[in-house]
Amino acid sequence: MKPNNETLELLNRHGSVRQYKDTPVSEEQLAAIIGAAQMASTSSNVQAYSVISVTDPGLRSQLAALAGNQAYIEQAPVFLVWCADLYRLREASTPHLAGGNSYEDTTENLIVATVDVALAAQNAAVAAESLGLGIVYIGGIRSKIAEVSELLGLPELVYPVFGMCVGYPAARAGLRPRLPLQAVLHHNGYDTATTLEQVKAYDEESRVYMRERTGGANDTPWSAMMAKRISEPARMQMKDFLQAKGFLRR
Amino acid sequence: MKPNNETLELLNRHGSVRQYKDTPVSEEQLAAIIGAAQMASTSSNVQAYSVISVTDPGLRSQLAALAGNQAYIEQAPVFLVWCADLYRLREASTPHLAGGNSYEDTTENLIVATVDVALAAQNAAVAAESLGLGIVYIGGIRSKIAEVSELLGLPELVYPVFGMCVGYPAARAGLRPRLPLQAVLHHNGYDTATTLEQVKAYDEESRVYMRERTGGANDTPWSAMMAKRISEPARMQMKDFLQAKGFLRR
**Computed from CA positions of residues A192, A194, A195, A199, in that sequence, does the dihedral angle turn out positive or negative?**
positive
Task: Give the pLDDT confidence of B35-78 residue by residue, as tens digits.
Answer: 999 999 999 999 999 999 999 999 999 999 999 988 999 999 99
Within this chain, do residues B98 and B201 fall inside the same structural domain, yes or no? no
Q: Say how far apart CA B50 and CA B63 lie, in whole Å.
A: 17
**B92 shares its domain with B117:** yes
Nearest by CB: B127 against A8, A46, A112: A8
- Same-domain status, A146 and A70: yes
Where is average pLDDT lowest: A4-8, A152-156, B31-35, B172-176?
B172-176
CATH number at residue A73: 3.40.109.10
Tell whether A224 is covered by a domain. no
Domain that holds residue A163: 6-175+237-244
Residue in chain B closest to A129 (alpha carbons) equals B7
Same domain, A153 and A215: no
Asked if the model's pLDDT at residue A134 lies above 80, the reply is yes
The percent of residues above 90 in pLDDT, for chain B, comes to: 92
Q: Which residues contact B58 (CB under 8 A, 6 or more apart)?
A: none
Same domain assignment for residues A169 and A205: no
Q: Check B36 against A11: CB less than 8 A apart.
A: yes
Amino acid A87: pLDDT: 98
pLDDT over 90 (residue A175):
no
Q: Do B126 and A11 touch (CB under 8 A)?
A: yes
Determine whether the interchain pair B88/A195 forms a contact, defined as Cβ–Cβ distance below 8 Å: yes
ipTM for the whole complex = 0.98
CA atoms within 13 A on the CB side of A14: 27
Domain shared by A34 and A71, yes or no: yes
Question: Amino acid identity of B107?
Answer: T
**pLDDT at A1 exceeding the cut of 80:** no
- Does B238 lie in the same domain as B202? no
Indicate whether B226 belongs to any domain.
no
Q: How far is B71 from chain A (nearest CA, A)?
A: 18
Number of domains in chain B: 2
Q: Which long-range contacts (C-beta less than 8 Å, at least 24 apart) are formed by B206-214?
A: B206/B177, B209/B176, B209/B177, B213/B174
Q: What is the mean pLDDT of residues B90-111?
A: 96
Inside any domain, residue B1 = no
Residue B146 lies inside a defined structural domain of this protein: yes
The predicted pLDDT at position A176 comes to 87
| Residue B103 per-residue DSSP state | -
- How does residue A173 score in pLDDT terms, banded at 50, 70 and 90? confident
- Contact between B14 and A40 using a beta-carbon 8 Å cutoff: yes
Task: Tell me: do A68 and A188 sit in the same domain.
Answer: no
For residue B227, being part of any structural domain is answered with no
Question: In terms of domains, do A211 and A87 share one?
Answer: no
The answer to whether residue A78 sits within a structural domain is: yes
Q: Which residues of A touch B155 (CB under 8 A)?
A: 190, 192
pLDDT tens-place string over residues A13-42: 999 999 999 999 999 999 999 999 999 999
Q: How far apart are CA A56 and CA A152, in angstroms?
A: 11
B128 and B202 assigned to the same domain: no
